[in-house]
Amino acid sequence: MSIRKKVTLLFVVSLVLMGVIAVWAERSSLQKGLMLQKERYLKEARGLFSLLSLADERRLRSRLQELGFKRLSSDELLEEGDTVLVRPHSFGEMRIVRKGRRLYLYLRYLDRTLLVYDTSQESGIQERYITYALVGLDILLLVFFYLLVLRIFAPLRTIASKMSRFASGELGIRAGLDTDDEIGEVARSFDTMAGRLQRALKSREELLRDVGHELRTPIARGKFLMASLPDFQAKEELASVFADLERLSKEILGMHLLESEESLHTERFSVQTLIADALNLLYVAESDLVIEAEDFEIEGDRHYLAVALKNLLDNALKYRKRGSVVKLEASEGSIDLYSEGEPIESDATRRAKNREGHGFGLIIVEKILSLHGFTLAYAYETPYNRFSIRFIRSPLP
């Protein structure tokens, strides 16, 4: 769930909870106020009945003033209001009427009537209005803070989007934010990192390209001079050395193209086709290699996978025990190469020493397989070194 959705969910929950609490508090306060007011009317009704029966208007007005009751004369109130309580009297009745949030007391004695309103209710109504205003202000502040938080986190969406574009290959993309907060610091750190990484990748590509081109010139000159030499026993070996150097320079030039899964041209083909392509890239005598292959299909870049298998075969053939045969077994989901010889050192040590050609060739193999989601496994099974390509896809990095 995105940060925006989380903040929105928190805002909605807070708003609903605040509304529920406000409604419950208002209803509770209203019911309590009406109950207290009804009890007061019941308490004072007996005395007012006595004054009404005596027909002493002066004393009645004085008592109403003491109680804070206001005398009304509107008969419409009795018709429009809801009767809350009715109590009959020997010569009349008492009635409490509710209209809106106010309670009124109605007394009738014979032909004399009295309708009063307790003005102290106004203070309670004003307090409720103030409560409503405060709740409304609180809601407005909550909305304001919600919008403020969204605005604060909005740059994160921009940074995340540009990071995604950078990861997909747009190395020139930058966050371009210059705010004086932690988000601005993150954006500036990303821009610095992206710039350094772009320069490093560019330098590496230029280095690989320059190295490859620089190698071609001496290789071409060496091959030309070798052709002019008379035949001798070492000429064939020398030609093989130059062929290896030429192949290595081509692989160096192709390394910078292997940057992402998008650089692969995926298709479906059989494992026998893959083995045939690898053998076409590598000269090997039939007596030096034994192949046992069960046919199955592979999905990937045919050219690069052939290069990977060729590098493994070349590695196994060059550094096998003299006079031994390399065995290639292909079964559902894997290709295994068995080469008799001494155990190979760990990857880290081997690459650090770059010993016996096990370094650069295997780096290319691992990179090609990693881009496909395939894996390269090594084990020593006395007296064989076994390299295995597993075509079961693993999550891509």
Count Cα neighbours of 307 within 13 Å in the Cβ-side half-sphere.
22
pLDDT value for 180: 79
pLDDT value for 336: 94
Residues 294, 332 contacting (CB under 8 angstroms): yes
Q: State pTM to two decimals.
A: 0.45
pLDDT value for 356: 44
Q: What is the phi/psi pair of residue 81, to 5°?
A: -80, 165
Instruction: Write out the chain's pLDDT in tens, 397 residues.
Output: 677 788 888 888 888 888 888 888 878 888 888 888 889 888 888 888 888 888 888 898 898 898 889 888 766 777 788 888 888 887 888 888 998 888 999 888 888 888 988 888 888 777 778 888 888 888 888 888 888 888 877 788 888 888 888 877 777 888 877 777 788 888 888 888 888 888 887 776 776 666 666 666 666 666 666 666 666 556 665 666 666 666 666 666 565 556 555 567 889 999 999 999 998 888 777 788 999 988 899 999 998 899 899 989 988 888 888 888 999 999 888 999 999 988 876 553 354 344 444 456 777 888 888 888 899 998 888 889 999 999 986 554 4
Residues 97, 34 contacting (CB under 8 angstroms): no
Residues 347 and 344: their CA atoms lie apart, in Å, by 9
Burial of 226 (0-12, 13-18, 19+ CB in 10 A): middle
CA nearest 330: which of 297, 304, 292, 302?
Answer: 292
pLDDT value for 169: 74
The pairing of beta strand 102-109 with beta strand 289-293: unpaired
